[in-house]
């Protein structure tokens, strides 16, 4: 009976989470359509405003226009607000302010916030919500302060806005920037010789991609002197993926004149590190992505698909999902029945959930890739570029080989759906898969045999 009640309560929460993101997109689309948002003072086409609002809310970073060139100060502020709300979640903000005003939360508010931030205990929700907001704003402010040492001397008062915009965008893993004054779609390609900028942005991306549960666990370490398995997996394998990604990118692109060949050794290393970090869901680039060799594009696709940690501002199938799948395969190869991760047995229910998330995510990417290839036939888009665009949209990364502005209406629409699915789908899917069906669990069925492999 209790499980059935949880099921009835759980599904509306999933829909509310999805609707909260949809509501932000709708409001953002309306504001970005208005003449007061564009530099030209004219209306922005609805489909383009919808694309931009979805990309910002889903903290993706794919853009049809250079953000600085097309949007004025008001439009940029709207985009930044969408990034902040989308990164931390409208539910996190509304529940936090409810908590601030009323000093307590109702059981429904607690359950909804608990499901969104992927926490395990209702009693910890108020404290964790305060932590989420406090840490987020503190890290963003520190990031903006560090960036201001570079941009204020270069751009005066405008440098303050640039620093704030980049800090929020980086922490929320969004990938939007307003550096188009240095060249359209230039992103951070002019800063390979500037460790302050690239390392600050990298740190913001990494912190934002760790997840709120990891924050809480690290800050609580002094009490128990131990970390959750989830935290250890995220910290260890995030580091491993960053190092492997940077090393492979460095080796593949070492002699590529279009990317890092002509850079000094220290800049080659810094650019390789930055691209490995950014590909995990941030979307900034310090090299020309379109000029990368195809193996590097495939590497970026793999990193984008894996993504960041659960409960973070990043996307992808999540690193914990990926590690569970890898360790399951290794267990099967070794003839073991159970999945073992860092000396701990993972329940089969978690394994099945990981398999389901990866399979459905792969299907979403394939459909997006197929539609883009079909819609862009006349433009002659390369298969690797279409795949790159599809994975980037699903992983809410925002890296592009430069084909986004050339997308037809059909391609724009499938990318909008893919970005939304990438930001909301995995969360909703994970929540939906945790709802047990008591009727089916009680059924006793005859065993059948299927040959696989």
Query: Is 206 a residue whose pLDDT tops 50?
Result: yes
CA dist 191 and 274 (Å) reads 11
What is the Cα–Cα distance from 257 to 241, expressed in whole angstroms?
Answer: 25
**Is residue 374 scored above 90 in pLDDT?**
yes
Q: Comparing C-alpha atoms, which of 321, 369, 275, 311 is closest to residue 116?
A: 311
Residue 74 pLDDT greater than 80, yes or no: yes
Torsion angle (degrees, nearest 10) of CA 30, 32, 34, 38: 180
Query: d(Cα 26, Cα 424) in Å, to the nearest integer?
Result: 15
CA-wise closest residue to 420 among 113, 16, 12, 53: 53
Q: Would you place residue 443 in the very low, low, confident or very high pLDDT band (cuts 50, 70, 90)?
A: low
Q: Which residue has the higher pLDDT, 399 or 131?
A: 399
- pLDDT higher than 70, residue 125: no
Please name the residue that has the structure tokens 């922490």. Answer: 171
Rounded Cα gap, residues 416 and 421, in angstroms: 9
pLDDT score of 131 more than 50: yes
Cα separation, 34 vs 30, whole angstroms: 7
The whole-angstrom distance between residue 304's C-alpha and the CA centroid of its chain comes to: 9
104 confidence band (pLDDT: 50, 70, 90): low
DSSP symbols for 411-435 = HHHHHHHHHHHHHHHHHHHHHHHTS
Whole-model pTM above 0.85?
yes
Report the mean per-residue pLDDT for the chain: 85
**Cβ contacts of residue 379 below 8 Å, gap of 6+?**
403, 406, 408
Whether the pLDDT of residue 110 is over 80: the answer is no
Q: Of the candidates 434, 421, 447, 312, which has an alpha carbon nearest to the alpha carbon of residue 365?
A: 421
Q: What are 168-190's pLDDT values in tens digits?
A: 999 999 999 999 999 889 999 99
Looking at residue 442, what is its pLDDT? 56
Q: Has residue 123 got a pLDDT over 70?
A: no
Mean pLDDT of 145-149: 97
Compute how many other C-beta atoms are within 10 angstroms of the C-beta atom of residue 179: 23
pLDDT at 252: 97
71 bridge partner residues = 38
Q: Closest Cα to residue 306, out of 431, 429, 209?
A: 209
Which tens digit of pLDDT belongs to each residue from 246-281?
999 999 999 999 999 999 999 999 999 999 999 988
Mean of pLDDT values over 362-386: 94
Which uninterrupted H or E stretch holds 14? helix 2-33
Confidence at residue 226, expressed as pLDDT on a 0 to 100 scale:
82
pLDDT-derived band at 70, boundaries 50, 70, 90: very high
Give the pLDDT score at 14: 63
- Position 87 scores a pLDDT of 81
Cα within 13 Å of Cα(439), Cβ side: 2
46 pLDDT higher than 90: yes
pLDDT of residue 408: 94
DSSP 8-class letter at 346: E
| Number of Cβ atoms within 10 Å of the Cβ of 164 | 19
With a cut of 90, say whether residue 373 has pLDDT above it.
yes
Beta bridge partners of 341: 344
- What average pLDDT score do residues 56-63 get? 91
pLDDT band at 3 (very low <50, low <70, confident <90, very high): very low
pLDDT at 36 over 50: yes
Predicted local distance difference test score (pLDDT) of residue 4: 41
The token pair at 202 is 């990298």
The residue that leads in pLDDT, 164 or 99, is 164
Q: What share of the chain is helix, strand, coil (3-state, %, to 5)?
A: 70, 0, 30
pLDDT higher than 70, residue 436: no
Write the pLDDT tens digit of every residue in 7-34: 444 445 566 667 778 888 999 999 999 9
Task: Give the residue-averaged pLDDT of 30-47.
Answer: 96
- In the predicted model, what is the mean pLDDT of residues 292-320? 91
The mean pLDDT value for 52-68 works out to 93
Closest to 21 in 3D by CA, of 93, 86, 114 = 86
Domain boundaries, the chain: 2-435
Over 80: is that where the pLDDT of 105 sits? Answer: no
Tens digits of per-residue pLDDT, 219-254? 877 776 788 888 999 999 999 999 999 999 999 999
Enter the tokens of residue 286.
Answer: 């310090």
């Amino acid at each position: 009976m209790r499980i059935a009640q949880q099921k009835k309560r759980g599904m509306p929460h999933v829909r509310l989470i999805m609707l909260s993101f949809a509501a932000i997109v709708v409001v953002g689309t309306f504001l970005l359509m208005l003449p007061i948002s564009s530099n030209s003072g004219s209306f922005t086409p609805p489909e383009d405003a919808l694309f931009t609002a979805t990309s910002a809310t889903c903290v993706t970073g794919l853009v049809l226009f250079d953000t600085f060139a097309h949007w004025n100060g008001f439009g940029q502020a709207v985009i930044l607000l969408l990034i902040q709300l989308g990164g931390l979640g409208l539910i996190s903000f509304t529940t936090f302010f409810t908590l601030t005003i009323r000093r307590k939360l109702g059981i429904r508010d607690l359950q909804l916030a608990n499901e969104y931030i992927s926490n395990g205990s209702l009693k910890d929700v108020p404290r964790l919500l305060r932590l989420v907001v406090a840490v987020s704003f503190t890290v963003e402010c520190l990031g903006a302060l560090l960036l201001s040492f570079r941009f204020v001397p270069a751009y005066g008062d405008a440098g303050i806005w640039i620093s704030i915009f980049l800090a929020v965008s980086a922490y929320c893993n969004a990938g939007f920037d307003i550096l188009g004054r240095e060249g359209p779609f230039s992103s951070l390609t002019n800063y390979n010789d500037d460790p302050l900028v690239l390392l600050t942005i990298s740190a913001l991306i990494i912190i934002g991609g760790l997840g709120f549960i990891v924050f809480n666990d690290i800050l609580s370490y002094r009490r128990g002197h131990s970390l959750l398995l989830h935290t250890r997996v995220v910290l260890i394998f995030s580091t491993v993926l960053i190092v492997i990604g940077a090393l492979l990118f460095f080796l593949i692109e070492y002699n590529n004149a279009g990317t890092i060949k002509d850079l000094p050794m220290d800049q080659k290393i810094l650019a390789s590190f930055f691209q490995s970090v950014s590909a995990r869901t941030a979307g900034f680039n310090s090299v020309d992505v379109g000029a990368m060799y195809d193996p590097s594009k495939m590497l970026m696709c793999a990193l984008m698909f894996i993504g960041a940690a659960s409960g973070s501002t990043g996307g992808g199938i999540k690193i914990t999902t990926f590690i569970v799948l890898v360790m399951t395969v290794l267990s099967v190869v070794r003839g073991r029945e159970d999945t073992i991760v860092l000396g701990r047995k993972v329940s089969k229910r978690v394994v099945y959930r990981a398999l389901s998330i990866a399979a459905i995510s792969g299907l979403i990417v394939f459909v997006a890739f197929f539609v883009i290839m079909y819609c862009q036939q006349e433009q002659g888009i390369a298969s690797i570029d279409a795949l790159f665009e599809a994975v980037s949209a699903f992983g809410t990364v925002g890296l592009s080989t430069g084909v986004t502005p050339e997308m037809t209406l059909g391609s724009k629409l499938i990318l909008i759906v893919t970005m939304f699915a990438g930001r909301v789908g995995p969360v909703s899917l994970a929540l939906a898969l945790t709802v047990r069906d008591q009727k089916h669990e009680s059924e006793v069925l005859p065993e059948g045999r299927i040959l696989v492999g």
